């Protein structure tokens, strides 16, 4: 039997969780939902990780405070407006929102978290969200994930959601997540907003531990454009309804929990990279044989962050020199003379975008650089591989046994268009 069973339901999949999405016209021109609500019918243990940006959105400042006690029961999220660089008034708006949600849902106001994403520097029209609250609450359901996952999308072209079931301590635990993220995406934390919900019984301290361990190899290994947002937030809520013995320390149960969380977060990381603003393909860089995991991940991230590498992938150009160049300036350790580089295409990469399943076997590969020496390679085959929708750069080192992966996308005309062009 597979370790995990993937299921429908996203953030509403786990026992006791419901979700909704409504359109409050936070911006007049918005036609799809813009406000998501997630609710657990009992208080959850909770943890969060937040943007490392010195400029933090007001909702981030507020939610960090709210979650400090390790408890939460509801999350209200909006797109279109980031509530960032909005000063005292912005903070008060987040507070007001939480208070209103708490009243409507009859939960403690300390247990409501607030997330925003969208344009920086405009005051959030909070009254519109409050006016829509009755609807947000009345629509809460087990299938409300469908509207919720859309309500947090900004420049995303695809919703990002995945859920799974796993056995922990003899009980079936469900864990689900949704995220938005397409631009202003960089390591530390490579997303804008993400929420994970689970019915697992686990202490707030262990939740936080799992979250931090998982983020290092997943969301922190994604880059679209090298810009770390002011609003990055990843929340996890666990309501204990699965009835397993509470996880309060490291051990087998914690390991399975972490494995499940890593599986969800890795899939979300890939979905975000694949849906990078303007992206035409997902670019994965795998580094093997490094001396430490830190070096492996650091090298992989430098490769997928390089504008020149990204532009080469847009052109399906097997320009391995730019890969070596990026590794060289990354500051992470490797021995150029013992480095080999290959390109691989992935046969069923489409599945990432459609059903969130694991990746399949490689279709074809080509080595272009072997132990520090350029190889004569079949340029036609290289072009064929690099034209696939999902391409992997395999960097093999001989400095040790550590490996690391980072996910990014190509740099395209459309990225420039989405972020800059008023001329068309």
Q: Which amino acids are annotated catalytic?
A: 191
For residue 342, with 0-12 CB atoms within 10 Å meaning exposed, 13-18 middle and 19 or more buried, which class applies? buried
- Please indicate if the annotation marks 180 as binding a ligand: yes
- Please indicate if the annotation marks 155 as binding a ligand: no
Least distance to a copy of itself from the beta carbon of 268, Å? 21
- Please indicate if the annotation marks 228 as binding a ligand: no
Stretch 213-272 residues interacting with a copy of itself (CB under 8 A) = 225-230
Least distance to a copy of itself from the beta carbon of 152, Å? 19
Stretch 151-190 residues interacting with a copy of itself (CB under 8 A) = 183-184, 186, 188
Stretch 64-83 residues interacting with a copy of itself (CB under 8 A) = 82
Stretch 399-418 residues interacting with a copy of itself (CB under 8 A) = 410-413, 415-418
Least distance to a copy of itself from the beta carbon of 336, Å? 5
Pairing outcome for strands 340-346 and 160-168: unpaired
What does the alpha-carbon distance between residue 318 and residue 418 come to, in Å, rounded to a whole number?
Answer: 26
Least distance to a copy of itself from the beta carbon of 56, Å? 8
Stretch 363-402 residues interacting with a copy of itself (CB under 8 A) = 369, 372-374
- Please indicate if the annotation marks 177 as binding a ligand: no
- Please indicate if the annotation marks 154 as binding a ligand: yes
**3-state DSSP of the chain:** CCCCEEECCHHHCCCCEEEEEECCCCCCCCCCCCEEEEEEEEEEEEEEEECCCCCCCHHHHHHHHHHCCCEEEEEEEECCECCCCCHHHHHHHHHHHHHHHHHHHCCCHHHEEEEEECECCCCCCHHHHHHCHHHHHHCCECCCHHHHHHHCCCCCCCCEEEEEEEEECCEEEEEEEEEECCCCCCCCCCCCEEEEEECCCECHHHHHHHHHHHHHHCHHHECCCCCCCCCCEEEEEECCCCCCCCECCCCHHHHHHHHHHHHHHHHHHHHHHHCCCCCCCEEEEEEEEECCHHHHHHHHHHHHHCHHHHHHHHCCCCCHHHHHHHHHHCCCCCCHHHCEEEEEEECCCHHHHHCCCCCCCEEEEEEEEECCEECCCCHHHHHHHHCCCEEEEEEECCCCCEEEEEEEECCCHHHHHHHHCCCC
Least distance to a copy of itself from the beta carbon of 408, Å? 12
Kindly write out the interface string for residues 323-362 of this chain, putting x where it contacts a copy of itself by CB under 8 A and - elsewhere.
-xxxxxxx---x-xx-------------------------
Q: Which of 3, 5, 55, 255 binds a copy of itself (CB under 8 A)?
A: 55
Q: Which of 320, 343, 352, 407 binds a copy of itself (CB under 8 A)?
A: 320
Kindly write out the interface string for residues 83-102 of this chain, putting x where it contacts a copy of itself by CB under 8 A and - elsewhere.
-xxxx---------------
Least distance to a copy of itself from the beta carbon of 40, Å? 32
- Please indicate if the annotation marks 424 as binding a ligand: yes
Q: Which of 316, 366, 391, 406 binds a copy of itself (CB under 8 A)?
A: 316
Nearer to a copy of itself, 229 or 266 (CB): 229
Nearer to a copy of itself, 119 or 394 (CB): 119
Considering the rule CB under 8 A, would residue 303 count as an interface residue with a copy of itself? no
Nearer to a copy of itself, 251 or 336 (CB): 336
Q: Are 211 and 234 in contact (CB under 8 A)?
A: yes
Q: Which residues are annotated as a binding site for substrate?
A: 154, 180, 191, 277, 419, 424
- Report the interface residues with a copy of itself, using CB under 8 A: 51-56, 82, 84-87, 119-122, 183-184, 186, 188, 225-230, 305-308, 310-317, 320-322, 324-330, 334, 336-337, 369, 372-374, 410-413, 415-423
């Amino acid at each position: 039997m597979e370790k995990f069973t993937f299921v429908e339901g996203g953030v509403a999949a786990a026992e006791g969780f419901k979700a909704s999405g409504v359109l409050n016209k936070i911006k007049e021109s918005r036609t799809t939902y813009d406000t998501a609500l997630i609710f657990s019918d009992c208080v959850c243990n909770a943890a969060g990780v937040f943007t490392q940006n010195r400029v933090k959105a007001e909702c981030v400042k507020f939610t960090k405070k709210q979650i400090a006690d390790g408890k939460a029961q509801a999350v209200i999220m909006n797109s279109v407006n980031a509530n960032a660089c909005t000063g005292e008034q912005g903070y008060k708006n987040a507070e007001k929102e939480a208070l209103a949600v708490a009243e409507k849902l009859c939960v403690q106001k300390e247990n409501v978290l607030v997330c925003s994403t969208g344009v920086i520097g405009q005051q959030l029209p909070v009254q519109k969200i409050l006016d829509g609250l009755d609807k947000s609450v009345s629509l809460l359901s087990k299938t409300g994930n469908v509207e919720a996952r859309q309500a947090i999308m900004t420049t995303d072209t695809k919703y990002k959601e995945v859920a799974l079931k796993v056995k922990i301590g003899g009980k079936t635990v469900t864990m689900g997540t949704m995220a938005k993220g397409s631009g202003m995406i960089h390591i530390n934390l490579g997303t804008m907003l993400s929420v994970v919900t689970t019915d697992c019984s686990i202490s707030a301290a262990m939740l936080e531990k799992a979250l931090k361990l998982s983020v290092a190899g997943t969301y922190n290994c994604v880059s679209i454009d090298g810009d770390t947002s002011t609003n990055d937030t990843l929340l996890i809520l666990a309501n204990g309804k699965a009835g397993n013995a509470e996880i309060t320390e490291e051990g087998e149960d914690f390991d399975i929990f972490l494995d499940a969380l890593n599986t969800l977060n890795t899939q979300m990381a890939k979905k975000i990279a694949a849906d990078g603003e303007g992206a035409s393909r997902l670019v994965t860089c795998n580094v093997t044989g490094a001396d430490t995991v830190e070096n492996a991940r650091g090298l992989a991230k430098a490769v997928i962050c390089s504008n020149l590498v990204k532009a080469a992938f847009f052109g399906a150009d097997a320009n391995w020199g730019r890969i070596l160049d990026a590794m060289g300036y990354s500051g992470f350790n490797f021995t150029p003379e013992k480095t080999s580089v290959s390109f691989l295409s992935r046969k069923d990469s489409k599945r990432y975008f459609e059903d969130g399943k694991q990746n399949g076997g490689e279709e074809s590969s080509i080595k272009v650089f072997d132990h520090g020496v350029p190889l004569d390679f079949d340029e036609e085959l290289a072009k064929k591989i690099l034209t696939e929708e999902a391409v992997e750069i395999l960097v093999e080192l001989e400095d040790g046994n550590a490996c690391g992966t980072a996910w990014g996308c190509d740099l395209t005309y459309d990225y420039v268009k989405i972020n800059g062009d008023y001329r068309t």
